[in-house]
């Protein structure tokens, strides 16, 4: 399966750095002189254009009303850089926006730190930058501050991107693992495993009858709808590295609670299921980039599900389990054939450099 063309309008023609003169990133593009100044101004500041970034100071200044802020960071080292359904740029925006949403925060602004490998193709950098700006617009956040470093060829891998994000918390809920309670219902926002399998398919050259795309998407909007409706959310978690299973295990351990899920209620597409069987993966451990679980009190579960299902990014959302008892840091699952087993944390990893 090949990287299919996306709506990304970045073209060599529109690249603000003259490609003929600078087809590849040079060490000097990170050296603090004219070349770096040009790269930062023309590639980043012009593209991410917004009032905060435009001050071009050592940092950005943003106004906030009294209250609580969420603050998060992620570095993105995904390989390949471009994949069906996204690229490292959109992922770097969606991933951090999603982490803010998981704190129950409305995303306010992002930072972007680039580590470029000398020799990285300027046109690919441009494609990534345009994709970041599109993703930021979709998620209604500004990229307000940034940094660029260049390392020698062989000391990096094209481009690594770190984004940090600040969000505003506009409610009084404590959305953390320790807030989950016995009887809480667990909702899952959609089918699992597509991001990891889409990446693996590109790496392994797998072909599917129906093209398989990553689920990479910004979930803040659907999360805000749940919160704005007054759902008393206890905890949320997006299902990135380690997938659904690892997220639930971490929550169970942190909360010292027993979580039980039903395998047959967890949506997995037939393409993902088939690829997992072929590759020897368990879809419950495969990474997602636009899927999350939300823990809510039982009496608001159906309202929460209705809200989730009314949003494109929660259309296939469903109830997958509940919190069953205190004092046991454990996740159990009833399998499709009715047996009950413990869901364990993986010792290593399934897929390296998935995000």
Which of these segments, 159-167, 183-191, 206-214, 331-339, binds its own copies (CB under 8 A)?
Answer: 159-167
Q: Are 336 and 264 in contact (CB under 8 A)?
A: yes
**Which of 3, 4, 49, 61 is the binder for its own copies (CB under 8 A)?**
61
Residue 281, interface with its own copies (CB under 8 A)? Answer: no
* Nearest CB to its own copies, comparing residues 175 and 333: 175
Strand residues in 189-314 grouped as ranges (E): 235-238, 257-262, 292-296
Integer Cα distance of 127 and 141 in angstroms: 19
Residue 74, interface with its own copies (CB under 8 A)? Answer: yes
How far does the chain reach from its first CA to its final CA, in angstroms? 19
Distance (Å) of CA 150 to CA 12, 17, 70, 77, 161: 21, 16, 30, 15, 12
Identify residues 305-334 at the interface with its own copies (CB under 8 A): none
* Nearest CB to its own copies, comparing residues 117 and 191: 117
* Nearest CB to its own copies, comparing residues 186 and 351: 351
Q: How far is the CB of 182 from its own copies (least distance, A)?
A: 20
Q: How far is the CB of 65 from its own copies (least distance, A)?
A: 5
Residue 119, interface with its own copies (CB under 8 A)? Answer: no
Q: Is the dihedral of CA 171, 172, 174, 179 positive or negative?
A: negative
Residue 182, interface with its own copies (CB under 8 A)? Answer: no
Structure-block tokens of residue 59: 């940092």
Identify residues 206-235 at the interface with its own copies (CB under 8 A): none
Distance (Å) of CA 234 to CA 20, 78, 177, 300: 54, 31, 8, 11
Q: Judged by CB under 8 A, how many residues of this single chain contact its own copies? A: 89
* DSSP, res 43: I
Residue 345, interface with its own copies (CB under 8 A)? Answer: yes
**Which of 182, 228, 299, 349 is the binder for its own copies (CB under 8 A)?**
349
Integer Cα distance of 18 and 122 in angstroms: 9
Residue 121, interface with its own copies (CB under 8 A)? Answer: no
Q: Are 163 and 93 in contact (CB under 8 A)?
A: yes
Residue 34, interface with its own copies (CB under 8 A)? Answer: yes
* Nearest CB to its own copies, comparing residues 56 and 264: 56
Residue 155, interface with its own copies (CB under 8 A)? Answer: yes
Residue 115, interface with its own copies (CB under 8 A)? Answer: yes
> What are the φ and ψ backbone dihedral angles of 92, each rounded to 5 degrees?
-65, -30
Identify residues 11-30 at the interface with its own copies (CB under 8 A): 26-28, 30
């Amino acid at each position: 399966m090949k990287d299919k063309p996306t709506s990304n309008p970045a073209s060599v023609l529109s690249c603000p750095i003259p490609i003929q003169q600078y087809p590849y990133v040079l060490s000097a593009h990170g050296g603090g002189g004219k070349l770096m100044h040009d790269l930062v101004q023309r590639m980043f500041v012009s593209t991410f254009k917004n009032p905060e970034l435009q001050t071009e100071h050592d940092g950005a200044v943003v106004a906030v009303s009294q209250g609580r802020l969420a603050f998060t960071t992620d570095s993105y080292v995904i390989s390949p850089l471009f994949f069906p359904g996204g690229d490292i740029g959109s992922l770097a925006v969606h991933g951090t926006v999603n982490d803010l949403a998981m704190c129950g925060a409305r995303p306010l602004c992002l930072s972007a730190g680039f580590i470029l490998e000398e020799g990285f193709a300027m046109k690919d950098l441009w494609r990534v930058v345009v994709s970041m700006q599109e993703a930021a617009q979709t998620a209604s956040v500004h990229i307000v501050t940034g940094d660029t470093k260049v390392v020698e060829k062989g000391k990096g891998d094209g481009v690594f991107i770190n984004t940090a994000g600040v969000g505003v918390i506009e409610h009084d809920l404590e959305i953390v693992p320790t807030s989950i309670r016995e009887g809480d219902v667990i909702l899952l926002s959609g089918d699992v495993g597509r991001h990891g399998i889409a990446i693996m398919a590109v790496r392994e050259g797998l072909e599917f009858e129906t093209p398989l795309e990553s689920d990479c998407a910004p979930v803040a909007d659907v999360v805000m709808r749940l919160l704005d409706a007054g759902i008393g959310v206890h905890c949320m978690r997006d299902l990135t590295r380690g997938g659904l299973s690892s997220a639930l295990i971490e929550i169970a351990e942190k909360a010292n609670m027993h979580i039980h899920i039903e395998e047959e209620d967890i949506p997995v597409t037939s393409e993902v299921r088939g690829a997992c069987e072929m590759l020897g993966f368990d879809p419950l451990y495969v990474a997602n980039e636009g899927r999350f679980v939300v823990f809510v009190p039982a009496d608001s579960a159906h309202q929460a599900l209705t809200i989730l299902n009314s949003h494109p990014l929660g259309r296939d959302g469903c109830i997958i389990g509940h919190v069953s008892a205190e004092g046991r840091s454990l996740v159990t699952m009833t399998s499709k054939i009715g047996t009950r087993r413990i869901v364990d944390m993986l010792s290593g990893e399934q897929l390296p450099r998935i995000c």
